[in-house]
């Protein structure tokens, strides 16, 4: 019985500590009296908790606040550069890493290019080297690292930290943490990349005060992170958000999933580039024809010539936007979100196609949910997954 009570007490202590720490984060300068008032905890309890947070170095005293009669109260704030978290966005061609501190400030970031044939063991070995190197460079002790979040383009088991299946990386049933041997004492969290982006938008981006929203990542693949009532929606098996496989044209191209006309086959940046290559080979009138190596046509080049007024390039982007609009109309009708944020490579050409997407979505969805939704481009963009992954250990610390 005694042991059980101790367990409960410890849980309560940790819970109260997280609540206090989160309030200090959100208020950015708050007194102990205010903490007691907001939480309903006794001033003594708040005193004990804040003393321990001060001693452990999570927070510091920062000036004094307004007096309500008597002494001016000391304000508490998160202590910048006291604790850190690392986020990694793993992709086929690159690994993007972000080091942030407890306040969410980005301390440094690195991108490493990978070849498509980089095997899992090699990729993880390079990741481990890079993390240790980055900490070394910034003179950060491993004990100050709250955790590492890793975002992958695939299905993960967020409970066990296992990557169940990431087809593009060719990872299947992989426990990443067990391979990070030199970081074995650091908590490792694995997350789907679209869900990591949604976490990022919710923590520091456009969806901080929004409980029901969808973040759609558009790059070589298309996926979504869904929040309902302020919480990430994973679905029964953890695979929710595969909007890239919404069929938008039954007679469309074959998809990697075996189906035909999935959104991904008509609007991913890789497929947009493939379409441009095909049209150039067919002799389309476009300044894309001036590119000697047709295979070198990329989304960046298409966007560049479209901005220069090239009609063919603009049409290619607009066609992909129409399919995105069609898929979004289904999402609006099904989920009734208040915000839909489009991110990743999409931000390179968002301004060129956004109105078209909104028009198609509004035309094809029901009036009521359409009136309540805002469709917008992310202002974090390509770094959202790495940042979102870095935020996961912070969320754990703040009890979120």
Residue whose CB is less far from Zn ion, 257 or 285 = 257
Calpha distance 383→345 (Å, rounded):
10
Q: Shortest Cβ distance from residue 326 to Zn ion (Å)?
A: 15
Q: Shortest Cβ distance from residue 167 to Zn ion (Å)?
A: 11
Residue whose CB is less far from Zn ion, 28 or 254 = 254
Q: Shortest Cβ distance from residue 48 to Zn ion (Å)?
A: 55
Calpha distance 82→60 (Å, rounded):
10
Q: Shortest Cβ distance from residue 338 to Zn ion (Å)?
A: 28
Q: Shortest Cβ distance from residue 237 to Zn ion (Å)?
A: 17
Residues that bind Zn ion (CB under 5 A): 245, 255, 257, 259, 262
Contact 131, 121 (CB under 8 A): no
Q: Shortest Cβ distance from residue 223 to Zn ion (Å)?
A: 11
Residue whose CB is less far from Zn ion, 267 or 394 = 267
Residue whose CB is less far from Zn ion, 253 or 399 = 253
Q: Shortest Cβ distance from residue 257 to Zn ion (Å)?
A: 3
Contact 47, 32 (CB under 8 A): yes
Residue whose CB is less far from Zn ion, 177 or 245 = 245
Residue whose CB is less far from Zn ion, 272 or 350 = 272
Residue whose CB is less far from Zn ion, 130 or 247 = 247
């Amino acid at each position: 019985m005694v042991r059980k009570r101790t367990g409960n007490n410890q849980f309560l202590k940790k819970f109260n500590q997280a609540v206090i720490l989160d309030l200090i984060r959100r208020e950015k300068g708050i007194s102990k009296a205010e903490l007691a008032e907001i939480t309903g905890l006794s001033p003594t309890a708040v005193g004990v908790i804040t003393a321990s947070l001060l001693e452990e170095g999570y927070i510091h005293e920062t000036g004094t606040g307004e007096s309500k009669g008597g002494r001016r109260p000391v304000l508490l704030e998160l202590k910048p550069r006291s604790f850190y978290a690392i986020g990694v966005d793993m992709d086929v061609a690159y690994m993007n890493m972000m080091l942030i501190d407890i306040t969410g400030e980005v301390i440094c970031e690195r991108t490493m290019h990978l070849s498509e044939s980089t095997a899992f063991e090699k990729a993880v070995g390079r990741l481990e080297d890079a993390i240790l190197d980055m900490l070394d460079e910034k003179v950060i002790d491993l004990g100050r690292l709250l955790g590492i979040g890793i975002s992958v383009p695939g299905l993960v088991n967020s409970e066990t930290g296992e990557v169940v299946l990431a087809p593009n990386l060719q990872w299947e049933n992989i426990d990443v943490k067990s391979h990070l041997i030199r970081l074995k004492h650091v908590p490792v969290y694995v997350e789907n990349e679209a869900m990591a982006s949604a976490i990022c938008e919710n923590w520091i981006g456009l969806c901080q005060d929004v409980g029901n929203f969808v973040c759609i990542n558009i790059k070589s693949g298309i996926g979504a992170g869904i929040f309902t009532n302020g919480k990430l929606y994973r679905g029964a098996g953890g695979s929710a958000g595969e909007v890239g496989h919404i069929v938008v044209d039954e007679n469309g191209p074959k998809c990697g999933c075996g189906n035909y006309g999935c959104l991904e086959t008509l609007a991913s940046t890789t497929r947009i580039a493939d379409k441009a290559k095909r049209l150039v080979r067919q002799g389309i009138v476009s300044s894309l024809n001036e590119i000697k190596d047709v295979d070198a046509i990329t989304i960046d080049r298409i966007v560049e010539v479209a901005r220069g007024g090239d009609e063919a390039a603009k049409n290619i982007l607009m066609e992909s936007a129409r399919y995105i609009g069609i898929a979004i109309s289904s999402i609006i009708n099904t989920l009734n979100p208040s915000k839909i944020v489009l991110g990743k490579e999409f931000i390179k050409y968002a301004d060129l196609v956004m109105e078209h997407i909104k028009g198609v979505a509004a035309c094809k969805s029901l009036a009521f949910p359409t009136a309540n939704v805002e469709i917008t481009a992310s202002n974090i963009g390509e770094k959202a997954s790495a940042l979102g992954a870095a935020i996961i250990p912070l969320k754990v610390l703040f009890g979120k």
